[in-house]
Structures are given as structure tokens and as C-alpha cells.
Structure 1
């Protein structure tokens, strides 16, 4: 990012107020930057900083400014012309209070009855702002965001606040999951300006969509020296009338500063990059409870996947054993903790404490999918010996099945908030998941396990306490008073011994109790389900399911992956191009959004990865061919010369295209694409793929050399590029005994930088490269192993195959 001079000052739009109101939030600036890296919402932050206000910070020097801005380098995609009119629109508009009633996004529909004259992101809103010369209030969130709900109730449903907004601003509401480009651009500004970020994101813009000022959650009233939302609205509209021209000029300067860097350079040796990331994770590792750092704790899959790659790397020596130990402690602690929904299955977003105990109760598809892959790869890494890990794999799958469309797609998320009872008026966080002791006791009644009361065993097993097990520090608003968040503090052996049971008796009793509690829980009011189906997250699910199949050899996982791939083909692809998302309509039908939104680079990169994963285990050419086709389209739409832009060409609304450079809650498109390119090179022997991957690494060289912890997934791809892949070429009829056994062995063991090529005849696409074509013309069946850039002799017997795999 181009920053002029040694000192760069983000201009304060409300300069006369800055010195008076910039006291909140800056003491914990480093923590806030870390928080944004995790893509967290604002709940845990609010525990220490209620009433987050907006500030434009003065950045002290170029390097610090660069660090802040690069935390979330993002971009915007064009919106295109307004959609054609739907004949149902007049009816829907009459049903709702504002234009959001015409949208498909669950988040936008949540705000369709606000008294605010909301616009969706698009030309109608931009034109209105320019014609009226009013500043824009941009509110960005998502349907399962806790603090988005809070701000809606406090401010967006308030008639007086709505009057101020409607008279003085053009209000635009954006679903960040539907429009990640909009979200990431303005979040980059908010983080750079204030040192923290989260959702809801609240940004004030000029009619030209240039930033004025911004923040996250605003309280409804002035309180303890913090400005309330109406006060901020009045101040900004007053300032706009006085200093509108100056604010426009400053906004233009800020947009220019958000331009991505295009520098390209040499990258350090992958061993150096690996060691740097590993040292960072080792220094922050919690040896007692697993995970990294203190509260809050995130199950950040990209970091865990890096440690799996580190543990499997031949070059990491004894440290690979230490890495495996860290992984095992973390994954087992997560599985035992309250972040894991022991009754409803699946994992919550993160824990607000350092013990994996009290979660933020929201559940995201992208978390389930990535953790499914992580647990599966760890199971293979450790020789498939841990039945508890296998149990978690199936547990995540069960949850994913619960949020499935009948035709194979997966819904996006489940809300943290729900009504405690059917007649309750107010939603509470975690109400669907937590328990009072007496409630459990009543449900389990007088049931026995052996000579023990089932309730006593369950209370011991899940840490159920009389007055609840949630400490006040983890529940600042008292929503979980007297409630228990179920977690395991004892091993099965310890709990069984406490009640004079065998482990088998214990497990049987616990499963019986879990079923009883689940049936009771289904009678509670359910949390909101975001039924949007996003291409990138379908793709992550496909990859996770394929890895679960490799880890367990249970075909239900790969069959479900194929069903999801078929869903994407049917509903999320058109004329060879992907769409961003589709929506659940009436009677379970699939509906397109009004804007029929095009996909982003992560949709393409993740989908190509999923297709290559399917090809690896199934050998079906259709998956490889589609991956090649999508890679070509991805290159045409998003290639920057040294990485992948988030979106296609920018429109008149936003003049900046940016490249994401942070593997956060989801990896970056460039991180995944660089590995995809290397896998395609391994299969097709086309050096253009390898050269393009090299350009990705060179484009991220400053990040990889100086702050590699930001790009752990790209670091793994870099290791593949510098050290070479291990490629198995399977030649002959797919069901031949030798090739069936080879595939079984390949699934059984986690092999560093593995690629697999399937060749049934010399005319297949896998035989298009020179060496693979030569292999296709030899005696069949045969297995070849190529390491780096050299291939061994063909293996034609199971005995020889055994000897090969015993050496790996």
C-alpha cells in the first residue's frame, strides 16, 4: 500500500471532536488488531469495551500504518444494473416497511420492517445520494450476528433515530456474507482508522462512496463519556453541511491509500517460513488447555492445518512430534469443551474464555467444514488410532446434515440468540443450548446405569452444578445465570471409576441421556437459521467431507460430498461461471437473488480445491475437467499478475480492487489458489500452473518473509512449491486389485504434499503430460510414485506396494 512520507495521518473527519472523544479502545489496540484477524464479531470485545464508538486514529509512522491497513486488505465487486422487476415485488413491498422486503438475504429481510428507509447496495441508493447530496450511512452485518441484533433493537427500530437517518442520510444495509467485497473494503478503513473492527460495521460515506468516518456497534444513548448513535448522526450531518467539500477531498485521499501493494520479490526458504510460524504458535501455546493465547479462543482451522502440515513434513524433525502434541491437546480440549455442542453436535464460533468452556453460541458452516477437514487429517496423521477423534468427525457430519437442503446444499449458519421459552418476549444468547440442573434431573428421572443414578453420572460427566457452571466473567449481561454449558472435565475412565461402571456402561448411559436431552431441546424455540447457500462454503464442505472419507473409509462422507457438488453444478453455476449464493424459498425451493450475484475469487478457489479433492479419491475425470475449466475462468476474472483480486473489475461506485492477504476464519483465495495451481501442475505437467503459483508467492513475499503467521495456508503451498510434491500415478482399470489397494493405502496415510493421477487409458486428461502419457502406454495395472521431479519404477504387485508404503 502506497503511504506518503515517513508519517501518515488518517485525517480526522470530526477534528474538533477528536481530542475530546478518542479515549476509548486505544489501550488495547494490539489486541483489537488480533481480534480482527480472527474475523470475530463484537460480543467478547464488548465485555471489556461496551458502547464501542467511532474514532479516526492518527497513525504514527509508515510501518505501523502499513501493518494496520494490511490486516484486512479487501475490495469491492461491481453491482451491475438494477434487477428486472419481479411480479411479486409489489405484494412484498406492501408487506414490508422498506425496500429490503424485496431482497432474498435473510439478514436484509430481518431489517425489512425497520422504520428506516433502507436501501440495498446498488445503483438506486448511489443515485439517490448524489441527487440529494446526502451522506450515506452504511451498515454491514450478517443474520446470526449477536450485536447486529442488539443495535437493531436499540437503534434501527427506534422511530426517533429512524427520523434522523431518513431526513439526513441515505441508509444502505449490506449482508457481509452476500457481499464480502463491500465488507472487506470498508472494514480495512475501519481497522486502519480505529485499530479495531467487528460487526455490525457502521460507516459514513460521501455520496461517491468514499469514507468519512466509521466504527462498529454504537449504543442508543450517550453514556459514560461515550457518544450514542443519535448524537453521532446529528454531529455528522452538521459537519457534512459545514465541511462537505473537505470531507469529499479527504475521502478521496483515503480511498487512494487503500490501494493494494503490487510489489513482487524473492521469498525466503520455506523451511524458514515454516519455522517462523511454528515458533509463533509454540510461544503462544496453552499447554494446560490447548489452543493459542488466552481469552477469547478461536478454533482457527488455518493455523491447525499448518501444524498438521508441519507435523507431516520430513524436514521438521523432532519438532514435528512437538507439533503433533500441540495439535492433539488442542483438538481434544476443543472436543471436550463447551465450544463443542455435546447435545446438538457441531462446534460453536469461539469461546469467550480461555478454557474452551463458554462459547459464543453461533454456529457457522465454514467452521464445521474446516474443522471436519482438520480432525480428519489429524486422524490420518496419527495412524487412525484415536476413536475419540473419529467420534468428533462423525459428530460434525451429523450437525452438517441438520443444516442441509434436501438437494445437497448446506445452509450458512445458526444464530446464537433464541427465545428461552415459547411465550418469551426477548431472545437470549445460548438459550437453546444451556441447562439448569433441575431441568436435567427432571428429564432423566429415576433412570439407572448399573447401580448408579443416570442423572448423577451425567452431572459428573458434563460438569453440571447447582447454580450453573458459567462464571460471571464470561457472562457480563447475566444471560446465563444458573445455567450450565455442558463440558467434559473427566476422562471416560475417571468418570466410570467414580460411579463403579465399566467404560462401555458409561458410554451407553451417556448416549441415552444425550438423546433424551436432545429430544427435550428440540421442543424449545429454535434459533434463526440463515438458509443462504454460499458457493465458497459448499466447496469447503466438499473438501471436509472428502477428508472425512479418507480418514474413516466410510462412503457416506464422499457420497455426501458428491451430492453437494451436484447441487453447486445445478444451482450455483451458469454458463461455466459460478454464482455467489442462492436462497431457500417457499416449500423448500431454491431461489436466486435479485441481483443474481456473481461469485468472488474465494468461491472459485475453494470450489477448485473441492473438485480436486473429489478427483483424488474417486478418479472421475468430470471433476478434474471442471477444476481446469474453473481455474481458467478464475484466472480471467481475478488474476492481478501476482495474486487474485477478491472481486471482478470494479464499477463506478468503487475504484479499488484489493487482494486479501490474511488467512483468517477462512483462508484467502490466493493461498488456496496457489496450492490448486501446484496440484494441477502435478496432474497435467503444465509448467504454466507452476509459474503462476510462483508469482503468487512473490506477490506475497513481504508478508511471507516478515509476518508469515498471517498466511499459514500459503506457507504450506510454498513448502510444496520449493520442496516438490509426492505424486502417485495410478494406471489401469479403476477396480483392479492393485489400484484398489493403492487407493486404500493413500487414504490411510497422510502423505506430505500429495497429488494423485488416475489414468485408465492414454486418451485420458491425466495422461496429457509427457511422462504420464508414457506411463499410460506401459503394462497395466501399475502404480508410479514421483517425488519432486523424479519417478520410480512401476509397481505391479501388492507385495511391492506394501514395501513402498512401509518406507513412507
Structure 2
């Protein structure tokens, strides 16, 4: 049950003095964006549900998020329109939901919209009965009838007319639809992981764009789950297919880093590319993209022996962006908007305005500066593909917002650009860094895009994992220190009595505030956080991280376990009549995909077979997907491979700072080892020594390193020479 302080008269008075509707009481940046709409919006909760039943009005449910471009468009066209608001207020109960706060609501009704219309997206617009059963739905609706589409007012009038005439039949149909949305509970045998791996690899190979990198055509998304699969495939297959996977990865990661999807001046990556060239992006930036790409670039750096300095540069570039969207105490904010005002006198926001450049603007900023004998401006224009009339084709800019603008990208190698201007590569790099700093300082004077300052647990966890992997790839302690700072933030603000919360918010004074709703966490918050804690335990060896992971796994099982996977939400969530189980690794992996791997890692460390069996039930629950459409679950496929083939577990016994164990940890960080788990044991009383084999090791010679591969352990290694021989064989 969500508790809302609607009884506080002073708060209510302040709300109505400042805002037009109830969303003024909320903390979500997305809901607050709509607090001044003339629509009588309700947040998701019992007050709205009761009002719908008492008035016998259908519900209009609008779901989006604060950095969603088309959500802004529909707000401006329809939700700020007084006439449209009048139709809604008189005939519907209007509910606004931030999909990032309530993924359970979002995913339930998105499943309906996709099934009914064949596609989904945001804003999501769904009409419901007062019992919260679907009537019809879609995504963005235009403000009037045009181009073969019905306008939003027309749709509203059609729905309210049908409701008055056929309300009972719509209710009955809605009840049937909800029953059809119930997840299947069947389980079955799963194919061999080699077959699953080969199927996913073949799909990626057949869709690979060998010229431009990435997979398929426009639009192109930097889908980390698929890239991480190829890294795992390359680790498992040392033959020609593994080498081809590395080729696909390298081309894709380098093309993304060179393209306009990468913010060369402001750092970090935009959401996706609207074209097939990684050139013109959709300009919003999401924390979950930065965090996952940080992990992907870092793992690829280790996979390839840390040979590519450009990859190391990208790792630091992503980190620098994450620092820009960080709270001083260690949490990371959710996202930055694609839209902003072109200048401080502008009234209308435009997509990409904060990031793009006219040629003359760059020329004026760089002035007469030189690199060697070359003009800095000429070098920069060549390096970043700056053109007189802009470098954005009309096909990538249907609304003309980027006319005469340049989205910076690299089409030349540094050697080619340096040769064009009779420079050394070092001279070129120095000049480009000088120019980037000048351009960044100019950009900071532009109106900033909206920052969604919501701090979501699942995305803090992804950040922790990405930062740990960045440390492993570079051995720069700033990354692991930042990961620990984020973990401490989660413990302080997002964890209470052994349970996680979904999100907290940035207050007006820069402080952290709780929401007005009791914002319980979801299964992805738990799964991702357990993963992050296990990652931290792997590299720093602190028992507190392992202990927190174990306790959170217990809570996750109690709240979300279905018998063969993990529900998105708890049973107690009001209004959500169907508990969904995600079955596709998308922009973020599913909770069950990550949890299945967490369970196997916990088994490796604790030697408790219950973890391993629960992971098996996850695979059996997803057997139809894994057998027929494994491309939908690349992260779970990696966990399945671990379950069937076993892990590589290193047990480090003895004084943590002993020369042998310090060297062992260094080597474990340097090399990307397939399905790795690490156990740190300083004494027989530690939790890592609770399993029978590990307990026996704790009583053996110290310091010592044991390697258990597959399902068998080797003899203790006591010398650095022996350790060297072992790692040379891996």
C-alpha cells in the first residue's frame, strides 16, 4: 500500500498555490514536469483508483520518463491544451506514471500495447476500466487528425462514447485481456549451452555491419547485453569464431567511439544513433547506458590484452561523464534530456541544441590558435568532420532542428589527420585536447538540458559493476574507490532493515530526499545490486560486500521468486493485478538473467547447492526462449554456459597483503577469465570458508592460491613462479 501525506493541510495549500494538480506533491522529476498541466492528473495509487470506481469513469494512463523526447512533444501539443484537458477532466480519471519509478506498471501495460498494436514506446497511452483492465492503447497520439492518424481529442471522444454505450462489455473484455497477460509458469529442459551460444553468435554474425560496425541498420543501439555476450563467446571459443567475435566487437566499439553517438566534447554516450553510421544520435544520455558500456569497454580491453589505448581513453571518458551526473555523497543521477533551449533568449527547446555546432561558431572560439604551423581550427574541422552547411543529412533530421549544425564525429584516423596537416600524432592530440576544452567551456554557457536527478538503485548497481571492471581494466584505483563510494551511498539512503528502496531524489538544497510514496524496490534493483556487491568483493575482498550480497539474495528470493524465475514486483503492490516476469534482455538485462549468474557465483563461493539448483530452475523456466529464441536472452545464455560447464574459481588463502596474494589479485584483474569467481579467506571463521572444500583450504598452508576449474580443484600454489606458470596456461 502506498502511503501519501494528503492529510497535511499546509502541504496541500502549498501545492494548490504553486501547482495545478496533485503531481506537485511528488518527487519524480517526470511527474513534476506535468504538475502545471491543466489536466487533473493523479499519481498511481489508491486515491485515483477509488475515484474511478466511484465516478464510473474510465482511466487514461500516461506512462513516460523525464528525458523522453516524444513525451515532451505530447505534453506540449495535448496535455497543455485547455480544450483537450477539459475532455479528459470531464470524462476520465487521468493517471501519470514515471516508468522508471514503476517498471511493474510500465511493463504490464506495455505488454498489452505491444500485443494489441505490434509496437511499443513512450509515451505510452493506455485506456483502462476502473478495475485497471485494458480497453485500448498506443504510444504517441498527435493533437489532431492528420496523415492518416486520429488525433488525441478524437480518440478521447470515441473512448468516452463507447464507454457510455458498451461499458459492461468493455469490462468483460478487459478481464479476459488481463488473464491472457498472466506469465506462463511452464518449465522444461534446456538445450546444451554450446547450441544456445552458436545460435546467438550466428544471429549476430549474420546481422553484423562490417563497414560501419554494429548490427542491422538504422536506428542503431549500443546494446550492451549483446556486446557482453560476444565477449563471453570469445572467451569460450578460442577458434575462428571467437576471433570473428573479437573483430565484430572491435569494429563496433571503435565505430561508436568515433561516431556522433559519442559526445566528443561533453563525454559519455547518447542513447542511440538514428542512422546506421553512429553519426546523428538521439541526444538523451542515460546512466544505465554509461554504466553498462563502461563495463563492456573495460572487459573488451582485458579480453584483448589491454593493447588498445583508444579503448582505455573511452573508459576514462565515460567515467568523466558519470562524475558530471553525480551527487557529492556518491549516488548517480538518472539521465540528461535530449532537448534544451538553443540560447538563453529562446522560448522553444530543440533536440541536440546543447551538443551541436555551426562551423563559424567553432572558428570564432578557436580564433588564430596554431598547432605547429597549422591553424587549430582547420585541424579541428578536419578531425571532427565540420562542414560549412552542417554535416547532418536531412534524412536524419526530419524536423529540421539540426539545419546548418555539425554533430562532431571522427572519420579519419589520428595518423591520417596528422599527416593532412604535417603534424606528429602527439602534436595533433595536444591540439585536439586544447580545442575540446575551449569548446566545452563554451558549451557550459549554453542553457543546460534537463537533468533527471532521480537516483535509482538498479542503476547505482550497474554503475558499481562498471566501475569495478574499469578498475580491473586499468588498475587505476580511482574507479574502485568510486564504486565503493556509490555502494556506501546505497547503504545509507537506499537500504533499510535489509530491504532496498527503488529510488531517492535530489532536494532543493542539494540534500537527498525520500519520495512521498513508499517506493519499494523491484527484482532488478536486488539482482543488479547483488551483482555489484559480488563484483566489489571480487576485487577488494571485503567480507561486508559478500555478506550484504547473501542477505539481499535471501530477501530477493522471499519477495520475487516465482518457482522458475523472478517476478518484477512484490505480491503486495496495489493495482498491479499481474506479476510479470521479464523474458528479454533489452536496454537493461532482465532480473532473472542477472540473478541466475549471481546464484552460480554464490554457489562458487559458499558451496551451497541450493543456489545452483535455483539457477537451474531459472534456466528451465526460460527454456522455450533459450531453445527457440536465445537472442532474446544473451545474458542468461552466458549464465547457462557457466551452469553447464562450470566456473573458474580462485581461492586466495592467507594474509591479504602477502606478496603471493597481491600478485594473484593483480593477475586476476589483468586477464579476462571465463566464468570467474574469487574467494578471499583470511581465517577459517570467514564466510568464504563456510563450504567444505574452502574450509579445508583455510586449514592448509598459507599464503596459498587454489584454482578450481569445472568441478575440480588443484593443489595449493605457494610461489609466484608457480602462479606465473598457471596463468600462462589460462
Distance in 2 of aligned mates of 1:84 and 1:335: 52
CA pair 120-185 structure 1, distance change in 2 beyond 3 A: same
CA shift for structure 1 position 587: 1.2
Kindly provide the CA deviation profile for residues 387-435 of structure 1, in whole angstroms up to 9, marking residues without a partner as x. 0000000000000000000000000000000000000000000000000
CA shift for structure 1 position 92: 2.8
Kindly provide the CA deviation profile for residues 675-733 of structure 1, in whole angstroms up to 9, marking residues without a partner as x. 00000000000000000000000000000000000000000000000000000000000
Distance in 1 of aligned mates of 2:334 and 2:206: 34
Determine helix, strand or coil for the equivalent of 1:583.
strand
Determine helix, strand or coil for the equivalent of 1:750.
coil
- Alpha carbon RMSD of aligned pairs, Å? 0.8
CA shift for structure 1 position 84: 6.6
Determine helix, strand or coil for the equivalent of 2:199.
helix
Determine helix, strand or coil for the equivalent of 1:662.
coil
Determine helix, strand or coil for the equivalent of 2:9.
coil
CA contact (8 A) 1:540 1:606 kept: yes
CA shift for structure 1 position 599: 0.1
Distance in 2 of aligned mates of 1:762 and 1:654: 47
CA contact (8 A) 1:190 1:197 kept: yes
Kindly provide the CA deviation profile for residues 222-281 of structure 1, in whole angstroms up to 9, marking residues without a partner as x. 113321000100011000000000000000000000000000000000000000000000
Distance in 1 of aligned mates of 2:577 and 2:156: 27
Q: Tell me, which stretches of 5 or more residues in structure 2 are unaligned?
A: none
Structure-2-length-normalised TM-score: 0.99
Distance in 1 of aligned mates of 2:574 and 2:713: 52
Kindly provide the CA deviation profile for residues 602-630 of structure 1, in whole angstroms up to 9, marking residues without a partner as x. 00000000000000000000000000000
CA shift for structure 1 position 157: 0.3
Kindly provide the CA deviation profile for residues 468-496 of structure 1, in whole angstroms up to 9, marking residues without a partner as x. 00000000000000000000000000000
CA pair 146-652 structure 1, distance change in 2 beyond 3 A: closer
Determine helix, strand or coil for the equivalent of 1:787.
strand
Q: Which residue of 421, 424, 436 corresponds with 1:514?
A: 436
CA shift for structure 1 position 601: 0.1
Distance in 2 of aligned mates of 1:600 and 1:653: 15
Q: Which residue of 264, 269, 278 corresponds with 2:187?
A: 264
Distance in 1 of aligned mates of 2:613 and 2:147: 57
CA contact (8 A) 1:93 1:102 kept: no
CA shift for structure 1 position 653: 2.3
Distance in 2 of aligned mates of 1:239 and 1:233: 10
CA contact (8 A) 2:332 2:460 kept: yes
Distance in 2 of aligned mates of 1:717 and 1:222: 49
CA shift for structure 1 position 366: 0.1
Distance in 1 of aligned mates of 2:9 and 2:595: 37
CA shift for structure 1 position 594: 0.6
Q: Which residue of 528, 552, 566 corresponds with 2:474?
A: 552
CA contact (8 A) 2:45 2:574 kept: no
CA pair 536-652 structure 1, distance change in 2 beyond 3 A: closer
When structure 1 is superposed on structure 2, of 648-657 and 242-251 the one drifting more is 648-657
Q: Which residue of 508, 512, 518 corresponds with 1:586?
A: 508
CA pair 652-417 structure 1, distance change in 2 beyond 3 A: closer
CA contact (8 A) 2:704 2:716 kept: yes
Distance in 2 of aligned mates of 1:644 and 1:294: 33
Determine helix, strand or coil for the equivalent of 2:167.
helix
Distance in 2 of aligned mates of 1:340 and 1:642: 39
Determine helix, strand or coil for the equivalent of 2:469.
helix
CA contact (8 A) 2:235 2:673 kept: yes
CA shift for structure 1 position 318: 1.8
Residue 212 of structure 2: aligned partner? 289
Residues 1:318 and 2:240 are matched in the alignment = yes
CA contact (8 A) 2:15 2:22 kept: no
Distance in 2 of aligned mates of 1:596 and 1:440: 49
CA contact (8 A) 1:83 1:594 kept: no
CA shift for structure 1 position 779: 1.2
Q: Which residue of 263, 266, 272 corresponds with 1:350?
A: 272
CA shift for structure 1 position 154: 0.3
CA contact (8 A) 1:137 1:203 kept: yes
Q: Tell me, which stretches of 5 or more residues in structure 1 are unaligned?
A: 1-81
Determine helix, strand or coil for the equivalent of 1:87.
helix
Determine helix, strand or coil for the equivalent of 2:395.
helix
Alignment of 1:318-337 (within 5 A): 318-337=240-259
CA contact (8 A) 1:732 1:782 kept: yes
Kindly provide the CA deviation profile for residues 77-105 of structure 1, in whole angstroms up to 9, marking residues without a partner as x. xxxxx777485343133210000000000
Number of aligned residue pairs: 725
Q: Which residue of 73, 84, 99 corresponds with 1:176?
A: 99
CA contact (8 A) 1:370 1:544 kept: yes
Distance in 2 of aligned mates of 1:254 and 1:263: 20
CA shift for structure 1 position 761: 0.4
Kindly provide the CA deviation profile for residues 296-339 of structure 1, in whole angstroms up to 9, marking residues without a partner as x. 0000000000000000014xx22100000000000000000000
Determine helix, strand or coil for the equivalent of 1:653.
coil
Structure-1-length-normalised TM-score: 0.89
Distance in 2 of aligned mates of 1:640 and 1:116: 39
CA contact (8 A) 2:105 2:576 kept: no
CA shift for structure 1 position 221: 0.6
CA pair 419-197 structure 1, distance change in 2 beyond 3 A: same
CA shift for structure 1 position 586: 1.7
CA shift for structure 1 position 656: 1.2
CA contact (8 A) 1:83 1:595 kept: no
CA contact (8 A) 1:377 1:551 kept: yes
CA shift for structure 1 position 651: 4.7
CA contact (8 A) 2:597 2:636 kept: yes
Determine helix, strand or coil for the equivalent of 2:505.
strand
